[in-house]
Structure 1
């Protein structure tokens, strides 16, 4: 009861908090609706904790051990201090979580939105690199098989043949680096099995006519070498009607192929190599354009009429500026859309050295991205934007891991990254043009160490430190829309900075079932290159620096993990102070790059229970208060309350020779700002609370390996926007990114 009283006290005394409940295993999932009031949430948490003994008496099977690698070594989820969630293969398949935006819907205290410029925003605890900051790095790190994805755009690559996704919140500078100020998402793809087999699945979605095929096959060559080949192809139908072109948007065609090989040497080395190529082609986008005065908030509009193309867009642009060819194609309303090509390769060596292990991970990523976007509306200013980006990145990490069972164990390592980004942001403006072209070369190296010292049998001290030296060279060419034709400006800048980040955490075993922890961590993100749409050349050339300041964070966390025979409870209280948060926002159609200080504090709670042999409950809650303290304003992407609850039923006794499975999920996020903070020119950027109901029912035939599933997402057809900004012009027009409505489909899978 002390735990219940303490949790209730925290919820009633903290200004704004967060709790996340997480239940996972491969059984079924469902969801319950929860009050957004703090007092009600405290009661809900107390009820969940009190449920433990009752559920323990009902459960007949042992708690499944969930293994994670968020600390760069394999360990039980309940041994990891901090807020960690796991989305396993069953959960990913039940709810068709094949894109990052749908994954984030299942993570309390997290939001995801995609801007027309191709800069998706993933925020955790209200902090995430904002839309429009195309040359800024992330506050949330995405890692795929241990390799950092260095561009926000890579978050929009489809998730295929994935085994597990781990989400760790809080500052992770020691082991993950400067790009994980508020958390990291780790995606683990499936590796080859030791026998021939695989799967093939097809799905058809009825509301928008989407179709997909996916499959994988394991090919063991011998007892030392095996390959896994996986691929997918999908056609996605649109849900916004463009009256000007006469089509539903966005329609997309996506494909991906991955080859993974694992080789076991005679001296016990494990060598894992991976090559993946992906292509995404999208026609149109999910944005509607509305005039101020037509509504007081997003009203569910799902069609629009674009303005006529600017005369300049029908002529195209091809000029040479300072030896660089600046090219933007002829663009009509029918050309609006985007294309992304990804190449991802990695090589991992696991080398045992006695009781120690050396791990070396080499990664190479390449991306080509083009997009055309039309922010104009009928009767409004005529603007068409063109984006063209090429990106390459090489990373190398080497680390030494000591035995975990030692009283003093550690991980030490080195890391190197080399990255090149070339990006053109071009806008046709009536009869004028403006563009920003930038080349940025970045290289950085780090040394890091993390250690755990057992002071006694129940108390441990965990420390970490990371030193990073980073240099960036930038070369930009700009042409403002108020400049004469052919008048371009060039500017260069460079930075070279080093930082030392670290963390200290205390762990205490209150009992065999209770882990209590508390700690402090610092992190930093290097100066970002400011990019945008210049009005005058001097907007950039006359600036003191092309970079905005280094972003720094100080994080405090305390919490506990409590294990029962049938589940667990994980609670974390956090307080984060961010200095010089690197922000990008839209103001009357212009992109503004700025920095300001932010405070984020709250509580996260996640639980998991076997209610019976056949029923599991997984819950996650988050409450947070995030404030722009520099301007005394709210922050976008920061709902004060969020919840995710999943109930799953799975049985082999309901129908003979079949496994019956049903999952129900409710995901809720309270009202929050989509783009800029509170302001007279952004009054429509706030959306109401959103609650999504998702479900899946499946039958798996035990003998044939055939599984048939009926899935539904957003069952109640909730109408809401997931992005917004006010467009150029005196009309103060608004553009909203409209989230997809209800989808219902069938999927058939054959495993062999």
Structure 2
């Protein structure tokens, strides 16, 4: 039996009222009246143009207009608009991205995400690029469940497709300027369409963000995280004939982040006021006290530069379309991460000399990455009996990462023979990946109402790895015994056959029911963050190595998509069950006197349901609501997975009204979003409280869409909970002079606090 707490029960009650036909249509006459209809949303996440309601899967489509309205600048913020999606940042920008409670845990960067990202059809191979500049978006499609046949590798748990705006055939442009008042910051976005010939047009779009953070670092005086992002995209559209379309997209982005929101939190243990005075307030609020003397600006520092190019050619033939997608992408990063999250100092030096000598446990990471991919596919169009799609996909990437870990535990000097948490070492990891796949899918129209779809995808992937662990200049117990040096040349090869099967039945003109099954895989390999106590990374992780097996996912889903009340309401319901063998799980734990990243294969499952609805009440008022329940657990002991809240949901409204005498429109929107409590690490450690936030917008725009002024408030009530948490890299108890295994003090990052911004947009023709 599912136990629902009071907050969740209230949310269910309100949501039920929002989507119940009984609540919204009190008489048969009212329901029969012709009223406003919802906009039909077309999506391309399955490589065809389809309406949202006809796809036999759970898909959330977020329009660029909605992203602009809420001033969303990255995928992390976008996740708030997708029920069942959690997207958090670990201290080193590792992604904690889950759909329905399942995803690839943060930290290990040598593995790809099991929720893949596509940018204008280009497969994005590394999670680092998920945080690249995010702007000039036409729409985002989040498709849940296994999508391995058409979308390929690393879509075993879902996919995110970002579609940028394309050039128009008229000269026009737009600019948006936003001022953030609470945390102080500016955002500028703009685009310009230039038709250079009857069959050739170009769009140039730019993006700039200068934003202070929501946590004050008392030690440095900065409001962190402090973000400075720039982006440029050039899109060219060429149609030499009626049957050929060529689209080229180049994008550059550079993101700089100074500091982070991580702070110490006292979990109610026995630490004294003296300890709290050294490390800060030890409670989750808007202040912290942290110094990293070896880091730029004495703060954690991240600099990421990404370039990508994508060329799509479509050739229409008599009964089918041939498509070629060629892409190249690369990035460079330089990260400094303060992993003790405090301002620890040598007490002995302070007592004897009065000078404060700060120590920092920090990680320095430099990465370079490049990828090339080529896809060819052939798709039939408009057949009466069946449609098909087949194709080939090739992918090659090179990733070079050097992470140096500097452990400096104060009051436990290196000349002490028994010391453990001092010393440095480096993980030098070079990986080349080659992937080749072939796929085919067919939709068989067995009758006017019944459609059966099935497909298979064969993939061969190889990874060639050079993995060296380099000892620091000073040999200590930490970098000679606990983390011994080694040199290894490693190879990982795997082949697998994945596929999807679905049955869709049109129950009536307004109701579709479906069932689907998907088998997906995410290739294994070697974890560059594994402890490797054996000094032999070729061994499996359970034997002290770094080898992790391929992940295999089985997803089952049944659902219904309904269009009600004379096309004014959509109601979608889905039940799902996902079973994963050899789930790739990484977490950072401190146990006794051991601190390490735990990487392992484990078996997990997730089951639950999703409901989402939109109702165009009148021409002026739209209501929406969504709810996801996902019970995601380890199969061996039933413990909850990390970053896996059981309940997420939202209810909201959109209101527009014409002000006739002013020649303009009034627009307002609001939503209440709920995320249940969750754990940030395996073994149900480091809990995060539930979070309920309120967002609100109010604006005016001209009837001809020339200008708009919008006030945007997010997390209006300033609610707080940790987005991500874990222990410091070295036990904080060492401040008192000796390491301790107690986890009474943990480090957590705070969710984004209240933001209030004024956005002004101008569209010229």
TM-score (norm: length of structure 2)? 0.87
Residue 283 of structure 1: how far off its partner (Å): 1.1
Residue 644 of structure 1: how far off its partner (Å): 1.7
The CA distance in 2 between the partners of 1:41 and 1:751, in whole Å, is 38
Question: For residues 372 and 738 of structure 1, do their structure 2 counterparts lie closer, same or farther at Cα, with a shift above 3 Å needed?
Answer: same
The CA distance in 2 between the partners of 1:39 and 1:214, in whole Å, is 38
Question: For residues 626 and 533 of structure 1, do their structure 2 counterparts lie closer, same or farther at Cα, with a shift above 3 Å needed?
Answer: closer
The CA distance in 2 between the partners of 1:58 and 1:737, in whole Å, is 51
Q: Residue 355 of structure 2 aligns with which residue?
A: none
Are the counterparts in 2 of residues 647 and 663 from structure 1 also a CA contact under 8 Å?
Answer: yes
Which of residues 453, 462, 474 in structure 2 aligns to 1:462? 453
Question: For residues 240 and 45 of structure 1, do their structure 2 counterparts lie closer, same or farther at Cα, with a shift above 3 Å needed?
Answer: closer
Within 5 Å, give how 1:202-217 maps onto structure 2. Answer: 202-217=177-192
Are the counterparts in 1 of residues 577 and 606 from structure 2 also a CA contact under 8 Å?
Answer: yes
The CA distance in 1 between the partners of 2:510 and 2:265, in whole Å, is 56
Deviations 1:700-734 (A, max 9, x none): 12358121111111000112210100112225331
Deviations 1:314-362 (A, max 9, x none): xxxxxxxxxxxxxxxx536615211000001100001101121111111
Which of residues 87, 100, 103 in structure 1 aligns to 2:62? 87
Equivalent position SS for 2:588:
strand
Question: For residues 699 and 471 of structure 1, do their structure 2 counterparts lie closer, same or farther at Cα, with a shift above 3 Å needed?
Answer: same
Structure 2: runs of 5+ lacking an equivalent: 272-280, 346-358, 409-421, 732-739
Equivalent position SS for 2:78:
helix
Which of residues 450, 456, 460 in structure 1 aligns to 2:441? 450
Asked if 1:474 corresponds to 2:465, the answer is yes
Question: For residues 537 and 109 of structure 1, do their structure 2 counterparts lie closer, same or farther at Cα, with a shift above 3 Å needed?
Answer: same
Are the counterparts in 2 of residues 288 and 302 from structure 1 also a CA contact under 8 Å?
Answer: no
Equivalent position SS for 1:301:
coil
Which of residues 494, 497, 503 in structure 2 aligns to 1:497? 494
Are the counterparts in 1 of residues 292 and 298 from structure 2 also a CA contact under 8 Å?
Answer: no
Q: Residue 316 of structure 1 aligns with which residue?
A: none
Question: For residues 655 and 623 of structure 1, do their structure 2 counterparts lie closer, same or farther at Cα, with a shift above 3 Å needed?
Answer: farther
Question: For residues 333 and 50 of structure 1, do their structure 2 counterparts lie closer, same or farther at Cα, with a shift above 3 Å needed?
Answer: same
Which of residues 370, 388, 393 in structure 2 aligns to 1:392? 370
Residue 178 of structure 1: how far off its partner (Å): 2.3
Q: Residue 278 of structure 1 aligns with which residue?
A: 253
Asked if 1:410 corresponds to 2:388, the answer is yes
The CA distance in 1 between the partners of 2:322 and 2:582, in whole Å, is 37
The CA distance in 2 between the partners of 1:53 and 1:393, in whole Å, is 57
Which of residues 521, 525, 530 in structure 2 aligns to 1:524? 521
More moved, 371-380 vs 244-253: 371-380
Residue 48 of structure 1: how far off its partner (Å): 5.1
The CA distance in 1 between the partners of 2:673 and 2:525, in whole Å, is 34
Asked if 1:739 corresponds to 2:751, the answer is yes
More moved, 85-94 vs 183-192: 85-94
Are the counterparts in 2 of residues 298 and 687 from structure 1 also a CA contact under 8 Å?
Answer: no
Question: For residues 655 and 554 of structure 1, do their structure 2 counterparts lie closer, same or farther at Cα, with a shift above 3 Å needed?
Answer: farther
Asked if 1:441 corresponds to 2:432, the answer is yes
Q: Residue 346 of structure 1 aligns with which residue?
A: 310
Q: Residue 303 of structure 1 aligns with which residue?
A: 287
Q: Residue 707 of structure 1 aligns with which residue?
A: 708
Residue 38 of structure 1: how far off its partner (Å): 9.8
Q: Residue 251 of structure 1 aligns with which residue?
A: 226
Residue 159 of structure 1: how far off its partner (Å): 1.6
Q: Residue 207 of structure 2 aligns with which residue?
A: 232
Question: For residues 294 and 163 of structure 1, do their structure 2 counterparts lie closer, same or farther at Cα, with a shift above 3 Å needed?
Answer: farther
The CA distance in 2 between the partners of 1:70 and 1:48, in whole Å, is 30
Equivalent position SS for 2:339:
coil
Structure 1: runs of 5+ lacking an equivalent: 1-12, 18-32, 310-329
Q: Residue 163 of structure 1 aligns with which residue?
A: 138
Which of residues 552, 570, 574 in structure 1 aligns to 2:576? 574
Q: Residue 317 of structure 1 aligns with which residue?
A: none
Within 5 Å, give how 1:339-378 maps onto structure 2. Answer: 339-376=303-340, 377-378=342-343
Question: For residues 541 and 429 of structure 1, do their structure 2 counterparts lie closer, same or farther at Cα, with a shift above 3 Å needed?
Answer: farther
Question: For residues 16 and 349 of structure 1, do their structure 2 counterparts lie closer, same or farther at Cα, with a shift above 3 Å needed?
Answer: farther
Equivalent position SS for 1:78:
helix
Are the counterparts in 2 of residues 272 and 347 from structure 1 also a CA contact under 8 Å?
Answer: yes
Residue 574 of structure 1: how far off its partner (Å): 0.3
Question: For residues 704 and 331 of structure 1, do their structure 2 counterparts lie closer, same or farther at Cα, with a shift above 3 Å needed?
Answer: closer
More moved, 641-650 vs 703-712: 703-712
Are the counterparts in 1 of residues 255 and 305 from structure 2 also a CA contact under 8 Å?
Answer: yes
Q: Residue 673 of structure 1 aligns with which residue?
A: 679
Q: Residue 383 of structure 1 aligns with which residue?
A: 361
Asked if 1:698 corresponds to 2:699, the answer is yes
Asked if 1:47 corresponds to 2:59, the answer is no
The CA distance in 2 between the partners of 1:46 and 1:606, in whole Å, is 8
Question: For residues 664 and 56 of structure 1, do their structure 2 counterparts lie closer, same or farther at Cα, with a shift above 3 Å needed?
Answer: farther
Question: For residues 551 and 302 of structure 1, do their structure 2 counterparts lie closer, same or farther at Cα, with a shift above 3 Å needed?
Answer: same
Residue 207 of structure 1: how far off its partner (Å): 0.4
Question: For residues 241 and 174 of structure 1, do their structure 2 counterparts lie closer, same or farther at Cα, with a shift above 3 Å needed?
Answer: same
More moved, 135-144 vs 186-195: 135-144
Equivalent position SS for 1:447:
strand
Equivalent position SS for 2:81:
coil
Which of residues 64, 68, 73 in structure 1 aligns to 2:43? 68
The CA distance in 2 between the partners of 1:276 and 1:213, in whole Å, is 17
Q: Residue 555 of structure 2 aligns with which residue?
A: 555
Are the counterparts in 2 of residues 34 and 41 from structure 1 also a CA contact under 8 Å?
Answer: no
Residue 75 of structure 1: how far off its partner (Å): 1.2
Q: Residue 418 of structure 2 aligns with which residue?
A: none
TM-score (norm: length of structure 1)? 0.88
The CA distance in 1 between the partners of 2:19 and 2:761, in whole Å, is 41
The CA distance in 1 between the partners of 2:660 and 2:601, in whole Å, is 58
Residue 89 of structure 1: how far off its partner (Å): 2.1
The CA distance in 2 between the partners of 1:295 and 1:171, in whole Å, is 46
Equivalent position SS for 1:153:
helix
Q: Residue 86 of structure 2 aligns with which residue?
A: 111
RMSD: 2.5
Are the counterparts in 1 of residues 19 and 613 from structure 2 also a CA contact under 8 Å?
Answer: no
More moved, 190-199 vs 43-52: 43-52
Deviations 1:526-582 (A, max 9, x none): 113212264857263666764300100111110111112212111110001001110
Deviations 1:356-389 (A, max 9, x none): 1111111111111111111223448841111111
The CA distance in 1 between the partners of 2:211 and 2:396, in whole Å, is 35
Question: For residues 536 and 47 of structure 1, do their structure 2 counterparts lie closer, same or farther at Cα, with a shift above 3 Å needed?
Answer: same
Are the counterparts in 2 of residues 478 and 537 from structure 1 also a CA contact under 8 Å?
Answer: no
Are the counterparts in 1 of residues 506 and 513 from structure 2 also a CA contact under 8 Å?
Answer: yes
Which of residues 156, 161, 165 in structure 2 aligns to 1:186? 161
Equivalent position SS for 1:633:
coil
Equivalent position SS for 1:105:
helix
Are the counterparts in 2 of residues 59 and 566 from structure 1 also a CA contact under 8 Å?
Answer: no
The CA distance in 2 between the partners of 1:48 and 1:215, in whole Å, is 42
Question: For residues 59 and 367 of structure 1, do their structure 2 counterparts lie closer, same or farther at Cα, with a shift above 3 Å needed?
Answer: farther
Residue 419 of structure 1: how far off its partner (Å): 1.0
Are the counterparts in 2 of residues 490 and 541 from structure 1 also a CA contact under 8 Å?
Answer: no
Are the counterparts in 2 of residues 298 and 720 from structure 1 also a CA contact under 8 Å?
Answer: no
More moved, 390-399 vs 531-540: 531-540
The CA distance in 2 between the partners of 1:264 and 1:208, in whole Å, is 46
Residue 675 of structure 1: how far off its partner (Å): 2.5
Are the counterparts in 2 of residues 575 and 600 from structure 1 also a CA contact under 8 Å?
Answer: yes
Question: For residues 343 and 59 of structure 1, do their structure 2 counterparts lie closer, same or farther at Cα, with a shift above 3 Å needed?
Answer: farther
Which of residues 417, 424, 429 in structure 1 aligns to 2:407? 429
The CA distance in 1 between the partners of 2:22 and 2:500, in whole Å, is 30
Residue 156 of structure 1: how far off its partner (Å): 1.1
Residue 260 of structure 1: how far off its partner (Å): 0.2
The CA distance in 1 between the partners of 2:3 and 2:464, in whole Å, is 41
